[in-house]
Structure 1
Amino acid sequence: MPDLQLYDPFATMQFSDEHCFLCGTTITTAQRTPVFGEWMQRNYNLQNKELLMLDKSITTFSQLTIPCCTSCNANHILPLEQEIETAAAGGYEAIKSLDPKKLFQWIGKMYYGSLVTELIREKDPLVMPENPVSENPQMLGRFKTFFQVLQSLRVPMVFSDFLPCSLFIVQADPTEDELPFEYQDELTTMAFSIKLGPVVIVCKLLDNGIIGNVLNRLYKLTEGQQLHPIQIAEFKARVFYAAYIFNVVPDYFVRPGKPDDEQLVLDTLIDDITNEVFNPWDQVAYAHMLEEMLKPWSIREKEILENPQQPLSFLTDDNGELKTINRFER
């Protein structure tokens, strides 16, 4: 019989190098797994690239590992990484054909792995973060909810008519694409993007696909198209800003089962009665987000908001149709 018992490290804040991040089993400090798969580090030469943590300490992709028992690593983490590696080698169509649940789990493992690292470091920080994650009950509640569905990595779990995230997969036009790999995440808004060669995966975790529905028309325009990197930057800005103003946290409920069940079934509910799903859209705040994404092209907020009612767009024209950009010129 499969183990259907969920693990809750948040109840006692059991975040340490002596407990498996996924199942809670007591382990040795040598039992660890990379947050970013070894295949990815190898393919994109990431091993020695530096990452800045919230406590101002510096680590590298190869050093960023999380506590993981031998069983979880061998039976759940490594097979998932191998599946993603195979798809990444096949390019855009192969990644698009992956089970979205597998992509959610893979992205979730990297996101949650970064979070676990921050929580462990907060016990002995180089510099105490201004807003420690461990002292923010609202954020911890959100992360606890997220970990509930991330355990689908280990526990056989069916999501009933939903996926706990919005996923977008776009491809870059190679003409002016100079970055083989890029990674961005926002811990508080749970927005994430990763570039594997010409393929860019953008994700908002823990929204049950709501942002995917909101941006569906724009996303449909990009399907099968090769986008200039500046267009991909704008697409990411739209997803990340939507995540920023997203204002609800889903609740997940394990459906009552029978003793001989071999999987858990999860239902979900979003409180859109007492809470607005989105906070109001603010053009200036969006322009800040877009300016950040457009840094490589030195495009400033003033230019973005030259027409305050219709911010600058490289993705769509005045009729809402996809623009064609092969080479970017000022």
Structure 2
Amino acid sequence: MADLKLYDPFSKMQFTDEHCFLCGITITTADRTPVFGEWMQKKYNLENKELLLLDKSITTFSQLTIPCCNQCHTNYILPLEEEIEKASEADYEGIKLLDPKRLFQWIGKMYYGTLVTELIREKDPLIMPENPVSENPQMLGKFRTFYQVLQSLRVPMVFSDFQPCSLFILQVEPTEDNLPFEYQDELSTMAFSIKLGPVVIVCKLLDNGIISKAMGRMYKLIESRQLHPIQVAEFKAQVFYAAYIFNVVPDYFIRTIKPDDKQLVLDTLIDDVTNEVFNPWEPVAYAHMLEEMLKPWSIREQQILADPTRLLTFLTDEKGEFKTIEHFAQ
């Protein structure tokens, strides 16, 4: 009989170096798995690249590991990383052919691995963060819900008529693209992006695909095209801002388990009756997000807001059609 029991580290805040992040069994401090796959670190020379944690301590991609038992590492983590590595060898076409559930699990593992690191660090921080994650019940509730569906990596699980995230896969036009790898995430909004050579994956976790539906027209316009890096940055800003104003958290319900069941079936519900799905869209707040994404091109908020009837955009022309950009000049 399949082991269909879910692990809940949030009930006792069991975030230590002595418990496997995926199944919870007691392990030694030597039992670890990389947050970012070793293949990716080697391919993009990330091993010694520095990362800043919330407590202002510095780590590197190779040092960023999380507690993981040998069984979970061997049976679940390694096969997942091997699958993504193989798909990435075919660039955009390979990534597009992946099961969205596997991409969700891969992105979720990196996102959750970063979160677990932050929660462990908060017990002995270099500098206590201004808003500790472990002291925010609302955030912890959201992370707990996310972890429920992330366990599909370990426990056989079927999502009934939904995906727990919005996924966007973009192609980058090579002419002015000199960045082989890039990674960004927002812990609080659960927005994530990663660049693997000519492919950029943008994701909003825990929205049941609502943002992908809201941005469906724009994504359809660009998904088969090669984008200039500034266009990728703008699209990322749109997704990250949508994640910022996203205002609901899905609930997941496990269907009654029968003795001969070999997988869990999850249904979902979003409370969009008492809560608005999105908070109001504010041009100034979006412009601030876009300015952050456009820093490499030194484009300021004032330029973005210069025409209040049409904010600065590099994705579409005045007719709303796709704008081709091969070379960008201020």
* TM-score, normalised relative to structure 2: 1.00
The Cα shift of 1:247 comes to 0.1
Instruction: List per-residue Cα deviations over 1:2-28 (Å, max 9, x = no partner).
Output: 210000000000000000000001000
Instruction: List per-residue Cα deviations over 1:246-299 (Å, max 9, x = no partner).
Output: 000000000112011000000000000000000000000000000000000000
Q: Could you tell me how far apart the structure 2 residues matched to 1:274 and 1:223 are? A: 34
Instruction: List per-residue Cα deviations over 1:128-173 (Å, max 9, x = no partner).
Output: 0000000000000000000000000000000000000000000100
The corresponding residue for 2:18 is 18
The corresponding residue for 2:169 is 169
The Cα shift of 1:320 comes to 1.4
- Mapped pair 1:254 → 2:254: yes
Q: Could you tell me how far apart the structure 2 residues matched to 1:319 and 1:157 are? A: 44
The corresponding residue for 1:122 is 122
User: Match of 2:81, SS?
Assistant: helix
The corresponding residue for 1:218 is 218
Q: Could you tell me how far apart the structure 2 residues matched to 1:68 and 1:123 are? A: 19
**Counterpart amino acid of 1:256?**
T
The Cα shift of 1:110 comes to 0.1
**CA RMSD, Structure 1 to Structure 2 (Å):** 0.4
The corresponding residue for 2:71 is 71
**Counterpart amino acid of 1:60?**
T
- Mapped pair 1:38 → 2:38: yes
Which has the larger displacement, 151-160 or 254-263? 254-263
Which has the larger displacement, 225-234 or 314-323? 314-323
Instruction: List per-residue Cα deviations over 1:194-240 (Å, max 9, x = no partner).
Output: 00000000000000000000001100111221000000000000000
Q: Could you tell me how far apart the structure 1 residues matched to 2:8 and 2:98 are? A: 29
User: Match of 1:314, SS?
Assistant: coil
- Mapped pair 1:202 → 2:202: yes
User: Match of 1:292, SS?
Assistant: helix
Q: Could you tell me how far apart the structure 1 residues matched to 2:137 and 2:97 are? A: 38
**Counterpart amino acid of 1:275?**
N
User: Match of 1:22, SS?
Assistant: coil
The Cα shift of 1:184 comes to 0.1
Q: Could you tell me how far apart the structure 2 residues matched to 1:212 and 1:295 are? A: 25
Q: Could you tell me how far apart the structure 2 residues matched to 1:309 and 1:169 are? A: 29
- Mapped pair 1:295 → 2:292: no
The corresponding residue for 1:184 is 184
Q: Could you tell me how far apart the structure 1 residues matched to 2:179 and 2:231 are? A: 14
Q: Pairwise mapping of residues 90-109 of structure 1 onto structure 2 (< 5 A)?
A: 90-109=90-109
Aligned residues: 330
Identical positions, percent? 79
Unaligned runs of 5+ residues in structure 1 are none
User: Match of 1:23, SS?
Assistant: coil
The Cα shift of 1:88 comes to 0.6
Q: Could you tell me how far apart the structure 1 residues matched to 2:163 and 2:319 are? A: 32
Instruction: List per-residue Cα deviations over 1:26-48 (Å, max 9, x = no partner).
Output: 00000000000000000000000
User: Match of 2:167, SS?
Assistant: strand
Instruction: List per-residue Cα deviations over 1:39-98 (Å, max 9, x = no partner).
Output: 000000000000000000000000000000000000000000000000011110110010
Q: Could you tell me how far apart the structure 1 residues matched to 2:313 and 2:237 are? A: 11
**Counterpart amino acid of 1:88?**
S
**Counterpart amino acid of 1:300?**
R
User: Match of 1:7, SS?
Assistant: coil
User: Match of 1:202, SS?
Assistant: strand
Q: Could you tell me how far apart the structure 2 residues matched to 1:66 and 1:320 are? A: 45
The corresponding residue for 1:323 is 323
Q: Could you tell me how far apart the structure 2 residues matched to 1:134 and 1:45 are? A: 33
**Counterpart amino acid of 2:302?**
K
The Cα shift of 1:309 comes to 2.6
Q: Could you tell me how far apart the structure 1 residues matched to 2:131 and 2:224 are? A: 42
The corresponding residue for 1:278 is 278
User: Match of 2:89, SS?
Assistant: helix
User: Match of 1:232, SS?
Assistant: helix
**Counterpart amino acid of 1:227?**
L
Q: Could you tell me how far apart the structure 1 residues matched to 2:146 and 2:309 are? A: 36
User: Match of 1:24, SS?
Assistant: coil
Q: Could you tell me how far apart the structure 2 residues matched to 1:48 and 1:309 are? A: 46
After the TM superposition, which parts of structure 1 deviate over 2 Å for at least 4 consecutive aligned residues? none
